[in-house]
Amino acid sequence: MQKAQDGRVLIFDTTLRDGEQSPGATMSHREKLEIAEMLDEMGVDIIEAGFPIASEGDFAAVKAIAEQTRSATICGLSRANFKDIDRAWEAVKPARSPRIHTFIGTSPLHRAIPNLTMDEMAQRIHDTVTHARNLTDNVQWSPMDATRTEWDFLRRTVEIAIKAGATTINIPDTVGYTAPVESADLIRRLIAEVEGAEDVIFATHCHNDLGMATANSLAAVEGGARQVECTINGLGERAGNTALEEIVMALKVRHDILPYDTGVDSRKIMAISRRVATVSGFPVQFNKAIVGKNAFAHESGIHQDGMLKNAETFEIMRPEDVGLSGTSLPMGKHSGRAALRAKLKELGFDVADNQLNDIFVRFKDLADRKKEVFDEDIEALVRAQGAAEQNIRLKFMRVICGTEAPQSADVILTIDGADHQVTAQGDGPVDAAFNAIKKLVPHNARLQLYQVHAVTEGTDAQATVTVRMEEDGRIVTGQSADTDTVVASARAYITALNRLLVKRALTGAGTDTKSVSYKDAG
C-alpha cells in the first residue's frame, strides 16, 4: 500500500480516466500506453488508468498499463457494486502495485439517482469497500460530490469506509463548487473528527468550474491531504481538473510556504503536456500556467529589458525547470535528419526511425515553403504524424474561391487504400471542402467547433485547425496544421472522421473501424 510521509504529497494522475472523459478527448490503446509510460517515467505515484467496466477497450488498456508499468501504482475505477469492483481488480491485478478505486455519490442530488436512503447507502458502502479490501490491501474510496454532502452523513460514510478497509479516502469537489478556505477546513475537520482518520491517506480531487481547482487542492494539502488527484494540462470534464503541472510547480516554487515535496521530475512536464495535447486533440491555451506558449514569453519593452538584465525580474521559475531548452537550434531546408532528431528530443519527442522518416519528409516540404521553421512548426508536424495510420486520408484537393467565382472544392480521398474523387460547392472554400468530404464519407455528425490559429507569425505561418464533431452522443476532435488553411481544415475534419469511426466500433455502432460507407461522385 502506498503511504505518504508528512511532508510528501502523492501525485495521483487521472488523465487516462477523468481526463479522457472530456468530450472529444478519447485516446487510442497505443496512445494510452504511451502516456502511462511517460507518467511512470516522470515519477507520478498513482496512475488511474481507466474505468475497466466501461468497455472492452478500456479494460484491455488498463490491464496492459498494469502489465507494463514499472514504478507507479495502477488504479482502476469502479462504481459501488461487486461486478464493477471485480472487473477493476481483473484489470489492475497484474500491476506491481494495484489499487481499486470505488465511489458512490453521497450528496442529496446524487443519492436521489439510485433512490437510496442514507441507511441503504451506508450499507452499500460497507459491503462494496469490504469486497474490494478482500481482493487487495490498497483500496481507495470516494464520496462523489463530497463538498455538497451534509457534514454528518459525510463523516458517517467516511468512517464506514475506513472501518471496511479503505486505505485512501478521496474527497472530491465533483462540480468545482467549493472555495479554498472550505477545502482546507473540510479536510482538517475530517482528520480531526473521523474515527480511524490517522490510519488512512486523505486525498483531494478538484474540478475547475469556478477556476479554483489548483487553489482548492493546495488548500486541501494545507488542511492535511497528502494525495492530490490531477491531470496533465488540467484536462477533464467541463472546465477540467486540477492541473498536475500547476500543483508540482506551485509546491516547488513556493516551498517556503508550502513545505511539501512530490516525486515528480518537473523537467518532463513540457514533453508530456505536448503529447497529451496531441493525442487528445485539445490544444493548450497560449496563456495556460506553466505549459502555455506564452508562459515564458515576454513582449513588453519593460519586461524584455528586465529579462535581459536579470531573468528573475519577471520569471519565478526557469524554463529548464519544466523541460524547456534554454538554447535554440535554428532549423531550415538544409537541416538533416540528425538535426531534426535532436530538435525533436529537445522539444520532448522521442520518435522511432519510421516516425522520424515520415516527419522528415513533411519537414522538408514545409522548409521549402517557409523561410524559417520554428519550434511550434515542428510540434505541429508531430501532431499531424498519426495521419499515416488513418483509414481515410486526403490525397488531393483543389479549391476555387474569390468574389466572383463559385466556391468549390475538387477532392480525392484514399479510403481503405482506394482513391475516390468528388467535387462540391459551399459557402466558402472550407465549407466546399467539408461538403466534398461528406459526399464521399456520408455521416450525420454535427460540427460543434471550427477553430483556426496561426502556429507562428508571418504570412507563411502554418495554420492549426481544430474541429469538434458530435454524432449520437459521440464527440470527437480533430486537429491538423498546414501553411494552407483550407488543407489544414480538410485534414482536421478527416482526422475527426477517423476517430468517429473508432468510436462507432467501440460503442457497437459498427463492427470494424474500417467499415466506412462511401460514395463515388462527380
Q: Model-level pTM?
A: 0.78
Q: In what order do the strands lie in the sheet with 463-471?
A: 446-454, 463-471, 474-482
What is the per-residue pLDDT for 205?
Answer: 98
Q: Residue 458: pLDDT above 80?
A: no
38-75 tens-digit pLDDT: 999 999 999 999 999 999 989 999 999 999 999 999 99
205 known ligand binder: yes
- Among 159-173, 449-463, 484-498, the range scoring the smallest mean pLDDT is 449-463
Highest mean pLDDT among 246-250, 287-291, 424-428, 451-455: 246-250
- H/E stretch holding 421 reads strand 418-425
C-alpha cell, 298: 515576454
131 in a known ligand binding site? no
- Of 120-124, 253-257, 277-281, 313-317, give the lowest mean pLDDT range: 313-317
| Residue-wise pLDDT tens digits, 350-405 | 788 888 888 888 888 888 877 677 777 887 777 665 544 578 989 999 998 888 77
CB-CB contact of 353 with 338 (8 Å): no
Cα torsion at 445, 390, 381, 483 (round to 10°)?
-60
pLDDT of 180 reads: 98
Q: Is 216 annotated as contributing to ligand binding?
A: no
- Residue 207 known to bind ligand: yes
